[in-house]
Amino acid sequence: MPALSTLPTAAELDRQAHRLYAVARRARTIAYILANPQATGDGVAYASARIPRAMSAAQRLLTLPGVADHEETPYALSFLKAAEGQLSAPSTRLLRIAATARQAAARADDTDDDLRVVVFHEIEERCRFLVDAAAVEPVLGRRGWTDRERQASDALQEQAARWGLTEDADDVRPTPPAVPAYLSQQAAERAAARARCAAGIRCTEPTCLAYGAVKVTYLVDSWLCADCIKAANTRLNPEGHAPDPVRPVPGGTPESGRYTVTLYNAIGKGARSVKCSTPQRAQFIAETVRPFNNTGYTIHVTAPTPN
């Protein structure tokens, strides 16, 4: 039995037990990041680093006299167990793959590697779908993964490893692995879109398919080709407007500037913005980024790039 002088007072014991509880609860809160299917790579990295540190701090507190037997300790241990379980869960491995796939897709996009962009985006989406399916919420009828999801997770991790997206994967092969025909088709469509957009922004007249349109006066949020500018003026002149009110905005379509593409849900709520620096890139984003099932877009020049 330890000497009486080494035994903690009741107040000191409560204080250390409360510290343990606070550490454990904080670890559990951080672990919720790893259950969020939309968690970012930074969020996953933060949680993956902080939870082990919290576990180490908790273990040190548990070695203090009397803390392991305190009445609040079982609650703290349940939080720690949940956090540790989430850290090692298969769904967390999928979140790491999703974050890596997003970064790899961005790098592939910079080099116009359309096949890798398409494949990595699909891997990311499938990972996040399975992370969402892993949630256990009996009240909502959600009971986590079935054997089907577990098999899908294993297959997805194998696919990610072949593409170099896992920590234990080999270096990415110069020749990509074979892919299903529909992914090859998507990559071809993406390459075709880039070729179309090389001419610039598409005319916003619904019936016009011309690219290389310019920002115009009078018509709000409109980009028109030369033929549609003439047609718009022909239509407006008989209505009593000033002669030829629709004209190109001087310097309104800089080859290098700050473009903002706003992608919005055409049949509901929701929007996101993407910034870029050329009209070609702006139109390419507008045609290839689809955050909603029915995505509309507008393109704005925020500011020309200063010389």
Residue 2, pLDDT > 80, answer no
Identify the pLDDT of residue 293: 85
Please report, for the chain, the start and end positions of each structural domain, with discontinuous segments joined by +.
Answer: 7-88, 202-251, 253-307
pTM: 0.83
pLDDT band for 307, please (50, 70, 90 cuts): very low
Q: How many residues does the chain have?
A: 307
User: CA 85 to CA 82: how far, in whole Å?
Assistant: 5
Supply the pLDDT for residue 173: 61
Q: What is the pLDDT of residues 82-140, one digit of tens each?
A: 999 999 999 999 999 999 999 999 999 999 999 999 999 999 999 999 999 998 877 77
Paired tokens of 181 = 């025909």
Calculate the average pLDDT of the chain.
90
Among the residues of the chain, which ranges form H helices? 10-31, 41-62, 73-87, 90-110, 114-133, 147-162, 181-197, 226-236, 279-288
Distance CA 284, CA 303 (A): 19
Indicate the DSSP class of residue 173: P
pLDDT given at position 63: 92
Average pLDDT of the segment spanning 48-70:
93
pLDDT tier for residue 302 given thresholds of 50, 70 and 90: confident
Structure tokens at 289: 């980024």
Q: Is 2:64 a contact under the CB 8 Å cutoff?
A: no
Helix axes 181-197, 279-288, angle to 10 degrees: 150
The conformation of residue 211, written as its DSSP 8-state character, comes to B
